[in-house]
A and B are shown apart, each in its own frame.
Chain A
Amino acid sequence: MTAPDAALQLLRTGLDAATAASLEACVRCNLCAESCHVFLADGESASTPAAKVQQVARLYRRYHTWTGSVLPGLTGARTLDDAALAALVESSFGRCTQCGRCTLNCAVGLDPAAAIRFGRAMVAAAGLVPAGIWANVAAALETGNSMRIGPDDVRETIAWLEDDLRATTGDPSLSLPVDRRGARVLYALNPREIKFFPLSISAAGALFHAAGESWTLSSTDFDITNYGYFAADRAAAGEIARHLYARADDLGVETLVVAECGHGYRSLRWEAPEYLRRTLPFEIRSFVEVLDDYLTAGRLRLDPAKNSERVTLHDPCNLVRNGGVIEPQRRVLRAAVQDFVEMTPNREKNYCCGGGGGLLAASEFAARRVATGRLKAEQIRRTGAKVVVSPCHNCIDQLLELNRHYSLGVEIKTLAEVAADALVSAPTG
């Protein structure tokens, strides 16, 4: 089967009614244009959400409407061929981070992000997903995590972190448990934490310990990232999530706590149960929500004086606009820092950092990714903050690059790191 044939098969048989309704309802008013950070950054008409939706809608009209098949010129219907697929790669991956800000602001009330996402799905069916993204999908399917980290490496890293944490806190009872059956909470990680940002694991461990939580890490199938979700390959995304669900089942936990990762939270909390068509026997919560719970319950005591510099907060699109975790991180920050200022706009209206949608793994779009981050850099600069907190490792990678590229001179931290720096409490649990 050729690439266009494979994509066409999906278009003919795999299009859901909700996405079809969006493709039908778009009137090409283009009022969504300024809601898109890509368009705001490059000003190119091809970057407007409406233009990206039309790359999919033109194909839809050709194969799903009578007028499009008989009078394609009237409705701009287009045949699905190699050129159309190349245009879809460019529009749905290269010019879109799937942040959903266009959906929030669509005047008609349709879902441009879902329509563009179906473009990604056709690209995936055709086997044309950017190689860097697909390499992560393959790794996760083959090894249980997107960075091919083996269980021994996990155990060694955690053991080293545990020693280090005991030494720095002077608390020999502090532990980072691994593969502990019967724990109430499984804390699942972004593999980048193990490889590049282990201190965020230490911070989370210190907070769990201080709160007296019964928790564990896992040496296998611990990965919260889901590049299958970025690739819009529902089968792969479902299978990747299933690994972690099975591990949580196996350990018998009550709650699967997702480390600070926007798309990880969204894919595990909201999307994968629909891909797999199953209800889960445990609840799924973001670590951000859990920290907020601990503070509310008085299980943690934080001293904001320990974080005296001005701090601002980046809202990850998948956690906030598409995940509904909006206020907990703010409550935690108000308790953990002395001077917290919001970016403008913020919460569900915040701009994408530019690194969403898997684009950090798609090197062919790297220059544009950094360029579209200009809005975020300007937002940060306007706050005058010295520290930017982002409860998402994907965003943090992009923010680190923006920090260098735009000479922002800020520190980029996770919420756990800032909260752990403010810890004053002994375990109360």
Chain B
Amino acid sequence: MTSASALLLAAFLVAAVSLARARWGIGSVRQRLFAPPRGRAGSGVLYAFTTAFLPWAKESASGHPVSYLAGILYHAGIFAMLACLVLSLTPLQAPAPLASALAALFGIALGAGLGLLAKRLADVAVRAISVPDDFVSNLLVDAALAAALAAALVPSARFVFQLVGAALLLYAPLGKLRHMLFLLTSRKLWGAYYGRRGVLP
């Protein structure tokens, strides 16, 4: 195992433990509810994690098609990048066609990420609620995507990808990147709320 791989592995462990601790810190969202349900919470949760993602399901998506598309592409690239980061700890190598496809995805995701960063700077209302963490988080993720792109094209760049990935993982529990964990909880509760009250789906 290379020193970069060892650092990355350690970063994964630190991130996992820190994020688990953060999630544990807010306590359990499970609670007995006393008001009788009108609909099914489970249907709402299913909706929340499926069709609620469709571009016409919410005004936040239908009213901002460019931001919606950028967000989808950005996060698709991030998930693929994190998967590649895990695989970089193994001897596996992506076959050339897959590596090219991944490189394209990382490039598109990087463009989307930088676009969202530009929007954060340009949009007065978004800038007004932004904090330094927003910019640090975006730039770290963008850097990881750029490194992933490089590693997909040039296998010897795997070392850089692992180092940048380690930095990203070490930062993740400190700021807004924690949303990767909490959005799962909040989205589930969102669906359960509307499902139980018979509002959605």
A105 on interface, CB distance cutoff 8 Å: yes
B61 to A, closest residue via Cβ: A107
A34 on interface, CB distance cutoff 8 Å: yes
A219 on interface, CB distance cutoff 8 Å: no
Which B residues from 175 to 201 make CB contacts under 8 A with A? Answer: 175-176, 178-179, 181-183, 185-187, 189-191, 193-194, 197-200
Inter-chain CA distance A283–B38, complex, in Å, is 12
A50 on interface, CB distance cutoff 8 Å: yes
Partner of A74, one of B22, B175, B187: B175
B129 and A109 within 8 A (CB):
no
Which B residues from 41 to 62 make CB contacts under 8 A with A? Answer: 48, 52, 58-61
Partner of B187, one of A27, A32, A109: A109
Known contacts A27-B176, A28-B129, A28-B176; is A110 also within 8 Å of B38 by CB? no
Partner of A35, one of B38, B59, B130: B59
A1 on interface, CB distance cutoff 8 Å: no
Known contacts A24-B182, A51-B125; is A75 also within 8 Å of B175 by CB? yes
Inter-chain CA distance A46–B124, complex, in Å, is 11
B34 and A45 within 8 A (CB):
no
Which A residues from 289 to 306 make CB contacts under 8 A with B? Answer: none
Known contacts A27-B179, A107-B68; is A348 also within 8 Å of B187 by CB? no
Report the minimal beta-carbon distance from A70 to chain B, rounded to whole angstroms: 9
Which B residues from 100 to 128 make CB contacts under 8 A with A? Answer: 123-126, 128
A269 on interface, CB distance cutoff 8 Å: yes
Which A residues from 66 to 121 make CB contacts under 8 A with B? Answer: 66-67, 73-76, 103-111
Known contacts A24-B178, A24-B182; is A33 also within 8 Å of B125 by CB? yes
Task: Give the residues in chain B near A46, CB-CB below 8 Å.
Answer: 128
Task: Give the residues in chain A near B96, CB-CB below 8 Å.
Answer: none
The stretch among B2-10, B131-139, B151-159 that forms the contact with chain A is: B131-139
The stretch among B25-33, B76-84, B85-93 that forms the contact with chain A is: B25-33
B17 on interface, CB distance cutoff 8 Å: no
Known contacts A51-B125, A75-B175; is A111 also within 8 Å of B189 by CB? yes
A21 and B133 within 8 A (CB):
no
Inter-chain CA distance A271–B33, complex, in Å, is 10
B187 and A28 within 8 A (CB):
no
Task: Give the residues in chain A near B32, CB-CB below 8 Å.
Answer: 277
A278 to B, closest residue via Cβ: B34
Inter-chain CA distance A107–B58, complex, in Å, is 7
Report the minimal beta-carbon distance from A290 to chain B, rounded to whole angstroms: 15
A22 and B63 within 8 A (CB):
no
A20 and B35 within 8 A (CB):
no
A109 and B28 within 8 A (CB):
no
Task: Give the residues in chain B near A28, CB-CB below 8 Å.
Answer: 126, 129-131, 134, 176
Known contacts A110-B190, A111-B193, A279-B34; is A51 also within 8 Å of B183 by CB? no
Which A residues from 30 to 56 make CB contacts under 8 A with B? Answer: 30-35, 45-46, 48, 50-51, 54
Report the minimal beta-carbon distance from B22 to chain A, rounded to whole angstroms: 8
Task: Give the residues in chain A near B136, CB-CB below 8 Å.
Answer: 74
B187 and A108 within 8 A (CB):
yes
A107 and B60 within 8 A (CB):
yes
B124 and A106 within 8 A (CB):
no
B183 and A73 within 8 A (CB):
no
Task: Give the residues in chain B near A132, CB-CB below 8 Å.
Answer: none
Known contacts A28-B129, A273-B35; is A348 also within 8 Å of B189 by CB? no
Partner of A30, one of B125, B187, B193: B125
Some 13 contacts from A to B, beta carbons below 8 A apart, are A20-B26, A24-B186, A45-B124, A51-B125, A51-B128, A54-B129, A74-B131, A103-B190, A109-B48, A110-B186, A270-B35, A277-B34, A349-B59
15 extra interchain contacts, Cβ-Cβ under 8 A, other than A18-B29, A111-B189? A18-B186, A24-B22, A24-B179, A25-B179, A25-B187, A28-B126, A28-B130, A34-B60, A64-B25, A67-B133, A75-B133, A109-B52, A109-B191, A279-B34, A323-B197
Residue positions of A touching B, CB distance < 8 A: 15-18, 20-22, 24-35, 45-46, 48, 50-51, 54, 64-67, 73-76, 103-111, 269-271, 273-274, 276-280, 283, 320-324, 326, 348-349
